Homo-oligomer: A and B are copies of this chain.
Amino acid sequence: MDNLLKELIDSIGPVDNKLEPVIQQRLDNLTKPKGSLGRLEEFAKRYCLITNQISPADLEKAVIVFAGDHGITQEGVSAFPKDVTYQMVKNFLQGGAGINVLARHVGADVQVVDIGVDHDLEDLPGLIHKKVGFGTKNMAEGPAMTREEAQRAILAGAEVAQDIIEGGKNILATGEMGIGNTTPASALTAVICGKEPSQVTGRGTGIDTSAYRRKIELIERAISVNKPSPTDGLDALAKVGGFEIAGICGMILKAAQMRVPVVVDGFISGAGAIVAKALCPNISDYLFCGHCSVEQGHKVQMEYLGLRPILDLDMRLGEGTGAVLAMGLIEAGIKIYKEMATFDQAAVSPGNEAI
């Protein structure tokens, strides 16, 4: 493995919980029955512990949307033509996509990264250029990427995250665009989480039953042709992954190293997160699961990561849409922690929890 990547992984230890009693005491002194704000209190506590502080600053939010293409699309695994990947990149930059609307709603910046789109996008203003290749190869016939390309894509994702965090963001959401990318996401989930492809494959953007069966067969073939390692995340990523999934993995690793929480979006982002976990067992400490995707493999990923989704709104768009909505709720929890009056401040009688 590349030295830079190895150093990054080795630098990520578990989150230290030593501040928990102080944080819990403040939560319990707020004018409400203990624990009655449920997961909002959990979000505040986890945010404080990850960032190792008891007085967090206001949230500065960004979603990073990695875009890449997939050789497997030539087999007909998506309801949309491959060109939609670069067309949607333009839509993101013009502010018209779902992620733009929802990011504006919660006050998050949208950063769009060309990490592997099969189209020349060099002259697009506002786009972050980190292209590792013009789409992956067809994984049904051989590896999607070389091991070296997979590492470069992870490190590219890490660089983007570092720049954005150094620019002042203190919470990140994952996002992606890539026609065909539920297919590598299902393949990675099957390999890393030890499931049959049929258990972790859904209908993506909306395909009919015969296309769905073909998609499962293609994933089975990709696994049988490439023999990806279930324990070597980099091997699995290179053989049956994608550039944007690698970028998400790298973004997660770098943010964890810099103690910045990451809100993971749906099924494709989850694939990036499980690769990160295969490379770095402590990674879940730094992650929030934004929402429960409709894609059936997503639950398997979340069990592997040990994360409980924040939202469940039957969403399956990707782009980071579920993650940014969840960032708004994490922010609500942090505001509860910071802004609510204590029993003393408000002259409210504290309760007796054991009458």
Residues of chain A whose beta carbon lies under 8 Å from any beta carbon of chain B? 30-40, 76, 78-81, 83-84, 87-88, 90-91, 94, 96-98, 101-102, 104-105, 205-208, 211, 294, 310-317, 321, 325, 328-329, 331-332, 335-336, 339-341, 345-349, 351-355
The closest CB in chain B to the CB of A79 belongs to B351
Contacting pair A96 B345 (CB below 8 A): yes
Provide the residues of chain B in CB contact with A97, threshold 8 Å. Answer: 31-32, 340-341, 346
The 16 sampled A-B contact pairs (Cβ below 8 Å) are A30-B98, A32-B317, A36-B316, A88-B348, A91-B348, A94-B341, A97-B341, A97-B346, A98-B336, A101-B332, A101-B339, A205-B351, A310-B313, A313-B329, A325-B332, A328-B328
Given that A294-B38, A317-B37, A321-B37 are known contacts, is A101 also in contact with B348, CB under 8 Å in the complex? no
Contacting pair A96 B341 (CB below 8 A): yes
Partner of A346, one of B83, B91, B102: B91
Alpha-carbon distance A313/B208, docked complex (angstroms): 35
- Assembly stoichiometry (copies): 2
Alpha-carbon distance A81/B335, docked complex (angstroms): 27
Provide the residues of chain B in CB contact with A351, threshold 8 Å. Answer: 78-80, 84, 205-206
Provide the residues of chain B in CB contact with A355, threshold 8 Å. Answer: 76, 78-79, 207-208, 211
Minimal beta-carbon separation of A275 from chain B (angstroms): 24
Contacting pair A34 B314 (CB below 8 A): no
Provide the residues of chain B in CB contact with A87, threshold 8 Å. Answer: 346-349
Provide the residues of chain B in CB contact with A83, threshold 8 Å. Answer: 349
Q: 8 closest A-B pairs (Cβ-Cβ)?
A: A96-B341, A38-B314, A33-B205, A36-B317, A39-B313, A80-B351, A79-B351, A91-B346
Given that A79-B351, A346-B87 are known contacts, is A101 also in contact with B317, CB under 8 Å in the complex? no
Contacting pair A39 B205 (CB below 8 A): no
Provide the residues of chain B in CB contact with A40, threshold 8 Å. Answer: 313, 315
Task: Output the residue of A84, A96, A335 with the most chain B CB within 10 A.
Answer: A96
Minimal beta-carbon separation of A63 from chain B (angstroms): 14
Partner of A206, one of B98, B311, B353: B353
Contacting pair A331 B206 (CB below 8 A): no
Alpha-carbon distance A208/B79, docked complex (angstroms): 56
Minimal beta-carbon separation of A293 from chain B (angstroms): 9
